[in-house]
């Protein structure tokens, strides 16, 4: 009997003396909605009215209702902030105010598509230490999601887990990404998952105002006239490499021309199909590494590709963002058959890159 009592006392003391850390991992909960994602949004008036309006305007209703997707859902507040920021800028320039119903369709479509991800991603599927790249349903644009685990002190299931949702800007460098977080996650509908974004998120990430205040460049002579394109140097992998020189002429900011070793001087040249007047040109920064940007260059025109006339020169220029297209204007009324951009200095380091170059004509 004594031994039995002693054994019971030892067990009680062992359990009572075990140390409680006080911290518990939050167990991720799922909310189930019996219907498709589009129907779920419509069932929440006062929360997703603006989102539904934009989905309808850009023609995503069928995808959101029928396809297997993950929707990172901006609330009404996200759209209000975006429109308010845009109209504050427009008022300063005495322009009429804009609404979701009349802003440019093309820009709205591209931005809305970023929130509609192909495939079903519950929070735990993004729990890898590095998160996961995920792709928008319509255009295949690369986004990123990462579950941020939550811990609580003193009680089980105490702190909500959230997802960090990022526009990668097609850059491998985290410093170039623009991120937001969710307010709630894992609303499970018949055709996928809804994660609700924080009300502090501004729809479009940091692109909304920029896209709708952008003044497009003058017509591109590479497209309106056509020509033959050459460069003084080529990518180490040759003219068909992934980042060969031909991509600096293609009018696509998502591609680029890369040189692993920048020479003292590098030129890009076009021989137009017919002599044409140019009074502007554009340069577009590439997706990453600002150190590779050109900062000094000159533009020249020629009738024969041998004798050149300087039309414009720039020094210590800067691209303040990735994929940034800058327009440079100059005085010229002469129709040249050849135009050449000679780059003489990059920001730093030894590597050079440029997404795009064009010569343009602006009606005076």
Q: Do domains 25-213 and 221-360 have the same CATH topology?
A: no
Burial of 170 (0-12, 13-18, 19+ CB in 10 A): middle
Strand order in the sheet with 266-277: 227-231, 266-277, 335-346, 294-302, 308-314
Report the predicted TM-score, pTM, of the whole model to 2 decimal places. 0.63
Tell me which residue has tokens 């900062």: 295
Q: What is the pLDDT of residue 14?
A: 47
Contact present, 54 and 108 (Cβ < 8 Å) = yes
Per-residue pLDDT at 160 exceeds 50: yes
- Is the distance from CB of 294 to CB of 354 less than 8 angstroms? yes
Give the pLDDT confidence score for residue 96 in this predicted structure.
87
What does the pLDDT read at residue 206? 84
The pair of structure tokens assigned to 147 is 């579950």
> Given the structure tokens 């591209």, which residue do they identify?
110
Q: What is the CATH number of domain 25-213?
A: 2.30.180.10
**Tokens for 174?**
């985290």
**Tell me: the pLDDT tens digits for 331-357?**
999 999 999 999 999 999 999 999 999
Give the pLDDT confidence of 313-335 residue by residue, as tens digits.
999 999 988 888 999 999 999 99
Residue 363 token pair: 């009606």
CATH 3.20.20.80 is right for the domain spanning 221-360? no
Residue 1 confidence (pLDDT) above 60: no
Pairing of strands 142-148, 162-167: antiparallel
What percent of the chain has pLDDT above 70?
89
DSSP class of 232: S
Confidence of residue 228 (pLDDT cuts 50, 70, 90): very high
Averaged pLDDT for residues 107-116: 94
CA distance 296 to 314: 6
The total of other beta-carbon atoms located within 10 Å of residue 265's CB is 12
> Across residues 213-240, what is the average pLDDT?
94
Average model confidence (pLDDT) across the chain: 89
pLDDT value at 70 more than 50 = yes
Cβ 225 vs Cβ 273: under 8 Å? yes
The 10s digit of each residue's pLDDT in 24-41 is 444 556 789 999 999 999
Which residue(s) pair with 282 in the sheet? Answer: 327, 358
**H/E segment holding residue 137:** none
CB 292 within 8 A of CB 353: yes
Beta-carbon contacts of 2 under 8 Å, excluding residues fewer than 6 positions away, are none
Supply the angle between the helices 49-57 and 76-92 in degrees, to the nearest 10. 70
Strands (E), 33-161: 69-73, 116-118, 132-135, 142-148, 151-153
Q: What is the pLDDT of residues 254-287, one digit of tens each?
A: 899 999 999 999 999 999 999 999 999 999 999 9
Q: In sequence order, what are the residues at sequence separation of 6 or more whose Cβ sits closer than 8 angstroms to the Cβ of residue 319?
A: 283, 285, 290, 293, 326
Q: What residues have CB less than 8 Å from 222, skipping those under 6 apart?
A: 229, 249, 251, 270, 358, 359
Q: Decide if pLDDT at 94 tops 60.
A: yes
* 100: pLDDT strictly greater than 50: yes
Of 39, 193, 55, nearest in space to 112 by CA: 55
Q: Domain coordinates of the chain in residue numbers?
A: 25-213, 221-360
Q: Taking the CB of residue 46, how many other CB atoms lie within 10 A of it?
A: 7
How confident is the model over 134-146, as pLDDT tens digits? Answer: 999 999 999 999 9
Rounded distance between C-alpha atoms, residue 247 and residue 327, angstroms: 19
């Amino acid at each position: 009997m004594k031994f039995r009592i002693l054994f019971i006392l030892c067990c009680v003391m062992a359990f009572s003396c075990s140390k409680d850390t006080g911290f518990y991992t939050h167990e991720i909960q799922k909310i189930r909605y019996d219907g498709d994602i589009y129907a779920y949004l419509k069932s929440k008036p006062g929360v997703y009215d603006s989102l539904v309006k934009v989905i309808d305007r850009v023609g995503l209703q069928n995808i959101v209702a029928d396809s297997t997707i993950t929707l990172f859902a901006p609330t009404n507040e996200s759209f209000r902030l975006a429109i308010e920021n845009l109209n504050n800028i427009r008022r300063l320039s005495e322009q009429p105010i804009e609404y979701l119903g009349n802003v440019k369709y093309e820009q709205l479509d591209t931005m809305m598509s970023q929130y509609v991800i192909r495939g079903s991603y519950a929070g735990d599927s993004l729990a890898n230490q590095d998160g996961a790249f995920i792709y928008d349903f319509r255009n295949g644009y690369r986004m990123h999601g990462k579950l941020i685990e939550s811990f609580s002190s003193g009680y089980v299931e105490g702190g909500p887990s959230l997802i960090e949702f990022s526009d990668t800007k097609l850059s491998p460098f985290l410093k170039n990404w623009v991120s937001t977080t969710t307010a709630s996650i894992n609303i499970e509908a018949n055709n996928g998952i809804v994660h609700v974004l924080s009300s502090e998120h501004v729809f479009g990430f940091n692109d909304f105002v920029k896209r709708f205040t952008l003044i497009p460049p003058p017509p591109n002579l590479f497209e309106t006239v056509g020509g033959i394109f050459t460069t003084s140097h080529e990518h180490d992998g040759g003219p068909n490499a992934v980042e060969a020189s031909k991509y600096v002429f293609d009018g696509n900011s998502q591609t680029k021309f890369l040189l692993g070793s920048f020479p003292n001087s590098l030129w890009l040249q076009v021989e137009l199909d017919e002599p044409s007047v140019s009074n502007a040109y554009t340069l577009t920064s590439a997706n990453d590494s600002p150190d590779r940007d050109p900062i000094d260059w000159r533009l020249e025109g020629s009738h024969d590709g041998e004798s050149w006339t300087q039309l414009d020169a720039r020094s210590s220029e800067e691209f303040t963002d990735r994929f940034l297209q800058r327009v440079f204007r100059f005085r010229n009324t002469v129709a040249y058959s050849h135009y050449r951009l000679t780059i003489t200095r990059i920001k730093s380091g030894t590597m050079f890159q440029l997404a795009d170059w064009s010569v343009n004509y602006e009606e005076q």
